[in-house]
Chains A and B, each alone.
Chain A
Amino acid sequence: MKEAKTWVMLSPTIIVLGVFFIGALIYSVLLSLNAFSITSNSSISLQAYADVLGDKHFVESLLFSLKIAAVSTLISIVLAIIVSMVLRKTFVGKRIAVFVYQFNIPVPHLVVAVSVLLMLSQTGLISRLFYQAGTLSGPSSFPLIVFDQNGIGIIVAFVLKSFPFIGIAVLSLLVTTTGDYEQQAATLGANAWQRFRHVLLPMMTPSITFSSILVFAYAFGSFEVPFLLGSTSPKALALLAYQDYTSVDLNTRPEAMAIANIITLIMAVVVILAYRRLDAVNKRGEAGHA
């Protein structure tokens, strides 16, 4: 009886997501398999996937997007841990610091991308400062950070948004839960590094893992930021998909969908891997490991 009520309560969200989200994914799969072909005779086929996977632009974009997502997530994790560890102790100006720390979280990625561009492009503010200081001879002497082949500008934009996101969750944990455990560890002889390594870090890991996945997912599949800050090649994966989707040639639709589905698949794998690892750590005790 109670179970039934629970499922009734869950139903609005499940139905809405089931129809409009899962429905969208299913449609995307069907389209990629050419199920609604309007042009040729075709039957369901995996041709779109073959074309996509064989395309070297695709492979390039895939590696590019993976690299950007991984690098920005890693840098964000490190920065988040460092800044949060510093900010947990009280000091004059801490309130302002925490306020600034959270500031970027509600700021849309688009705006962060715009500001990164205006700051770090070859004609940006930083470049002008260096020129005025006499260390630069002209805009082209300024290193290519935005619109470069390595996506550094893109990474910077992601990091600026992501490290506070991960960091605030960590800070919240450090300020509430972990303090007592640290004191306990100190009385048992653990020095500062040992306390961090054996008590704090393990206690922070679930929270960091969760927010990192969200951050990675966004960076991997982002459209706006690479579009604004990227070079013409390599393109981020989302740009490739968008290109194929909006092209005049309708035959590229299935390929666009194929790319979209591959992105979905990759994210599914990432999530499974991350949670396998978390679970393994959790289950160690029950298995009888000493």
Chain B
Amino acid sequence: MPRGRLLGWAALAFLFVAVLLPLLPVIIWSFSFRWPYPNLLPEWSSRAWDYVFSQSTMIDTMVTSIELSAVVTLLTLLIGYSTARALGTREFRGKSAVELFILLPAIIPVISAVMGMQGVFTRLGLSDTFPGVVIAHVVFALPYMVFGLASVFKNYNLEYEQQARTLGADRWNVFAHVTVPGILPGMVVSCLFVFVVSWSQYLSTIIVGGTAVRTLPMVLFALMGSGDYAVASAVAIIFILPVLILLALTSKFLAGSGVSSGVINEP
């Protein structure tokens, strides 16, 4: 079908322009010393990258971001696991209400909740602390973990576990040898998205964390404000790199993920 082919190539071209082209100026800026208008190419230099990798504050910020998102992911998994399992494998009265409730942090914009959150956290002594930011991120990430895992459990056959128990496996063994391998791909995908949710948080980190926690998005934001696009671009690239690497790793791990993962993604 020649017309179908043409449309396919048109779609591909459109996607390249819409998705990949905007990254071009970012990459170019990151390698520039100056890039005055109207030049198409800048005065090349690696000063932005040198700066980013030499500054200890930058390294600290990167480490903080990674630590933060990792802890948030783990915590969200621990908190959300049993809930997801209940939603995915059981029917009960009030289920829709519970689902709506858990969905709320994903629907209600961060700005609406985060100021009140700051107030509550201050009273609890969590404001301006790392744990406080962790909790804030967990709150916004939970819907994605719960619904992601729940959808995995929907396709999960409980009878495998029942079978294992009849063969003498105790609860821990059932979990380790039957449940985890059964849900692993979907669980990894959910964790990945929660990581991204936490990684991308700006408002909650800055309001709840104040000066105590400095993450990459905050640095990026500040740099854009300062007008130093070169360094900002370098930071932006560093900002998305871990996410892209994680994505590449997990999509090798889950053949055909993305389109077939059936997990809710972050908007």
| Residue positions of A touching B, CB distance < 8 A | 2-3, 6, 8-14, 16-17, 20-21, 23-29, 31, 83, 86-87, 89, 91-94, 96-98, 100-112, 114-119, 123-125, 127-129, 131-132, 139, 160-162, 164-165, 168-169, 171-172, 175-176, 211, 213-215, 217-218, 220-224, 227-228, 237-238, 241-242, 245, 256-257, 260-261, 263-264, 267, 271
Q: Does the CB pair A17–B19 fall under 8 Å?
A: no
In the assembled complex, the Cα of A102 lies from the Cα of B203 at a distance in Å of 25
Q: Does the CB pair A213–B107 fall under 8 Å?
A: yes
Q: Does the CB pair B22–A171 fall under 8 Å?
A: no
Query: Which residue in chain A gives the minimum CB-CB distance to B243?
Result: A106
Q: Shortest Cβ distance from B135 into chain A, in angstroms?
A: 6
Q: Shortest Cβ distance from B167 into chain A, in angstroms?
A: 23
In the assembled complex, the Cα of A152 lies from the Cα of B149 at a distance in Å of 37
Q: Does the CB pair A3–B92 fall under 8 Å?
A: yes
Q: Shortest Cβ distance from B222 into chain A, in angstroms?
A: 12
**One of B4-12, B44-52, B173-181 contacting the partner:** B4-12
Q: What number of A-B contacts does a CB cutoff of 8 Å give?
A: 276
Number of B interface residues in the complex (CB < 8 A) = 91
In the assembled complex, the Cα of A125 lies from the Cα of B5 at a distance in Å of 31
In the assembled complex, the Cα of A21 lies from the Cα of B266 at a distance in Å of 19
Q: Shortest Cβ distance from A209 into chain B, in angstroms?
A: 13
In the assembled complex, the Cα of A29 lies from the Cα of B108 at a distance in Å of 14
Q: Does the CB pair A103–B116 fall under 8 Å?
A: no
Q: Shortest Cβ distance from A222 into chain B, in angstroms?
A: 7
Query: Which residue in chain A gives the minimum CB-CB distance to B102?
Result: A13
Q: Does the CB pair A13–B203 fall under 8 Å?
A: no
Contact of A245 among B115, B142, B200 (CB under 8 A): B115
Query: B249 interface residue, CB < 8 Å from A?
Result: no
Q: Shortest Cβ distance from B182 into chain A, in angstroms?
A: 18
Q: Shortest Cβ distance from A208 into chain B, in angstroms?
A: 13
Query: Which residue in chain B gives the minimum CB-CB distance to A104?
Result: B19
Contact of A263 among B9, B78, B109, B217 (CB under 8 A): B109
Query: Which residue in chain B gives the minimum CB-CB distance to A260?
Result: B112
What would be 9 A-B contacts, judged by CB atoms less than 8 Å apart?
A10-B87, A11-B83, A89-B4, A107-B243, A108-B217, A118-B229, A161-B267, A172-B262, A220-B109
